[in-house]
């Protein structure tokens, strides 16, 4: 018999967490509803995302991800309907959404697009393979392209 106290992650907790995530998509709100710390909610989601996840953790993770997708769609619809302030803040600051909606995410996307355009231009050029290699190394040294060896 395993020692320790019983887990607070139960099928009922999964249902409660999904309901809360639909309406208040924050780790703090979900944790408060379940009586656990936000870090615990994050850990349960991460554990459920793994290929070898225990069934209840996998169910928890799927439920949270599904509820967050619903919440995200609702927030975007509210912005489109003219209620932007609070919804935009949540999309750009919540750890669930900020990787896709924040200014930093937009910058990362622009940098990626610039890097891809640079690489296409280099590939379309009449440079010799040695010149291309030298250019890739210089770009990598300048932080413009993380892996010059990934482009042939």
Give the pLDDT band of residue 97 (cuts 50, 70, 90).
confident
Shared domain check, 91 and 21? yes
Query: Do both 74 and 141 map to the same domain?
Result: no
Do residues 95 and 64 lie in contact, with contact meaning Cβ atoms separated by under 8 Å? no
At which residue do the structure tokens 């609070």 appear? 86
30-39, 49-58, 140-149: the lowest-pLDDT one: 140-149
Which residue carries 């509820």 as its tokens? 67
User: Which of 137, 28, 83, 64 minimizes the C-alpha distance to 148?
Assistant: 137
Indicate whether this model's pTM tops 0.75. no
Residue keyed to tokens 């924050």: 26
Mean pLDDT value across the chain = 84
User: Is a pLDDT exceeding 90 seen at residue 145?
Assistant: no
Instruction: Characterise 50 by phi-psi region: left (phi > 0), alpha (psi -120 to 50), beta (else).
Output: beta
Residue 17 pLDDT level (bands cut at 50, 70, 90) = very high
Establish if 16 belongs to a structural domain.
Answer: yes
Of 82 and 147, more confident: 82
Helix or strand or coil: residue 18?
helix
Predicted pLDDT at 3: 64
Instruction: Say if residue 95 is in the same domain as residue 116.
Output: no
């Amino acid at each position: 018999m395993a020692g320790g106290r019983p887990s607070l992650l139960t099928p009922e907790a999964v249902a409660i967490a999904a309901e809360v995530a639909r309406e208040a998509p924050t780790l703090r709100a979900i944790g408060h509803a379940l009586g656990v710390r936000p870090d615990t909610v994050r850990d349960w989601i991460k554990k459920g995302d793994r290929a070898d996840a225990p069934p209840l953790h996998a169910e928890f993770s799927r439920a949270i991800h599904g509820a967050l997708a619903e919440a995200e769609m609702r927030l975007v619809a509210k912005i489109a309907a003219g209620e932007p302030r609070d919804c935009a803040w949540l999309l750009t600051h919540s750890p669930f959404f900020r990787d896709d909606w924040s200014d930093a995410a937009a910058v990362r996307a622009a940098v990626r697009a610039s890097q891809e355009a640079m690489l296409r231009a280099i590939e379309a050029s009449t440079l010799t393979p040695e010149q291309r290699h030298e250019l890739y190394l210089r770009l990598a040294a300048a932080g413009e392209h993380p892996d010059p060896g990934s482009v042939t």
